[in-house]
Amino acid sequence: MLTLMFSWSVAHAAGKVKTYICSRGVLLAAVVPVGKKGFEDQESRVEIRSADGRRISWKSFSSRDGEHGWGVNHAAWTGDGQFFIFNTSSSGGHQPWSLPIYFYSLRQNRFYKLDSFVGPITSDFILQGRNTIRATRLNFVTRDDKERVRVRLDRLRLRIEESASLWR
């Protein structure tokens, strides 16, 4: 299983793809550089693949001009293997203070932007325990750009599910 995933990533982009294997061993996340020539790492596409290499979900952060997209900096699976989390930075240097965090939910098979739930993220993240994220955010009310935030993704997922059921 691991050999298949490794050979896929090397063949896919001559070894430039960064791969992350879920702790449960059933999924692989790949960060594919898609920026313009010479700046490939400045923009990314994130792919979630099954153990047999089949792509089950993806999200692109590329832009037409190579200056308005986002590149993945730091990425990891949560300890419980339910979420793939990563932060991004602007390929054009816009909003250098902002480091949006995204996460993929295995249960929903969908990507979410953490900033949409807690406000603009201003730092890299730290993972704790099974699926808790620590970072800092911009608080517009207090004008504090380093306000600490701690989010349990399993609890956030429940909020997402509850709000989605209202629209069914």
Cβ count within 10 A of residue 164: 11
Strand 132-139 relative to strand 126-128, pairing: antiparallel
**Which domains, ranges and CATH numbers included, belong to the chain?**
2-166 (2.40.128)
Q: What is the pLDDT along the chain (168 residues), one digit of tens a residue?
A: 444 344 344 334 444 999 999 988 889 999 999 998 888 988 999 999 998 889 999 999 999 888 889 999 999 999 999 999 999 988 877 676 789 999 999 999 999 999 999 999 999 999 999 999 999 999 888 988 899 999 999 988 767 766 554 444
In which element (H, E) is residue 138 found? strand 132-139
Name the token pair of 29: 């996340």
Determine if residue 14 is left, alpha or beta; phi over 0 gives left, psi from -120 to 50 gives alpha, anything else beta: left
